[in-house]
């Protein structure tokens, strides 16, 4: 089984000033992520979101877009871990910054999907994921390899 039906939208998120500051103060307090005056004086010319904030937001939307089918027992892998475990990511790029009040649209695309050779009922996925501003400018892309419970329907 191989992909692909092209990029599928998984959700949208508006990066408010407060959201950008909250994430960056916890995880990435570089001046252009946490200090508006320093950001204005930097080569970015204003406050920008941590690249990891964009990536983590992608994951939050991806998980919420892939809930388990109803009626499964609580210890079913599709309930415990609907999108499973990741092996790693490659060629992650942040080609343009995300600024306060940008609404970002998030996508996923299956490049390849194949049954796990060692774990029956699991599928190994290779995806290309991305995010764009509403004007189409890409702000994030990366390839992800992960193993998820095979579709139950």
Partner 1 sequence: MPDIFFEDFIIGEVKTFGSHQVSREEIIAFAGEFDPQPMHLDEAAGKASLLGGMAASGWHSCAILMRLICDGFLLRTAGMGSPGVTENKWLAPIFPDDVLTMRRTVLESRTSKSKPEMGLVTFRFELVKPDKTVAMSQVCVIMIGRRNPGARLA
Count of residues that interact with partner 1, criterion CB under 8 A: 43
Among 12, 17, 93, 114, binds partner 1 (CB under 8 A): 93
* Cβ distance to partner 1 smaller for residue 12 or 93: 93
Q: For residues 141 and 129, is the Cβ–Cβ distance under 8 A? A: yes
- Asked if 81 interacts with partner 1 (CB under 8 A), we say yes
Handedness of CA 115, 116, 118, 121 (dihedral sign): negative
What does the alpha-carbon distance between residue 2 and residue 54 come to, in Å, rounded to a whole number? 27
Q: Where in 34-53 is the site for partner 1 (CB under 8 A)?
A: 42-44, 48, 50-52
Q: What count of Cα atoms within 13 Å lies in the side-chain half-sphere of residue 14?
A: 4
- Length of the chain equals 153
- Asked if 79 interacts with partner 1 (CB under 8 A), we say yes
- Asked if 121 interacts with partner 1 (CB under 8 A), we say no
- Asked if 150 interacts with partner 1 (CB under 8 A), we say no
- Asked if 17 interacts with partner 1 (CB under 8 A), we say no
- Asked if 57 interacts with partner 1 (CB under 8 A), we say yes
Structure tokens at 140: 């994030």
Q: What is the distance of C-alpha 29 from the center of its chain?
A: 21
H/E segment holding residue 36: helix 36-41
The site for partner 1 (CB under 8 A) is made up of 26-30, 32, 42-44, 48, 50-52, 55-57, 59-60, 63-64, 74-75, 77, 79-95, 97, 142, 147
């Amino acid at each position: 089984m191989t992909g692909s039906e092209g990029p599928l939208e998984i959700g949208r998120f508006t990066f408010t000033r407060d959201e950008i500051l909250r994430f960056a103060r916890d995880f990435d307090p570089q001046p252009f992520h946490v200090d508006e005056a320093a950001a204005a004086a930097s080569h970015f010319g204003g406050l920008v979101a941590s690249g990891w904030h964009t990536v983590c937001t992608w994951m939050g939307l991806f998980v919420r877009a892939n809930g388990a089918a109803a009626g499964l027992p609580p210890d079913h892998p599709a309930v415990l871990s609907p999108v499973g475990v990741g092996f790693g990511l490659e060629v992650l790029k942040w080609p343009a910054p995300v600024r306060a009040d940008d609404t970002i649209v998030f996508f996923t695309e299956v490049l390849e999907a194949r049954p796990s050779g060692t774990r029956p009922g699991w599928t190994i996925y290779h995806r290309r994921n991305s995010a764009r501003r509403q004007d189409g400018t890409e702000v994030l892309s990366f390839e992800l390899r992960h193993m998820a419970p095979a579709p139950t329907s």
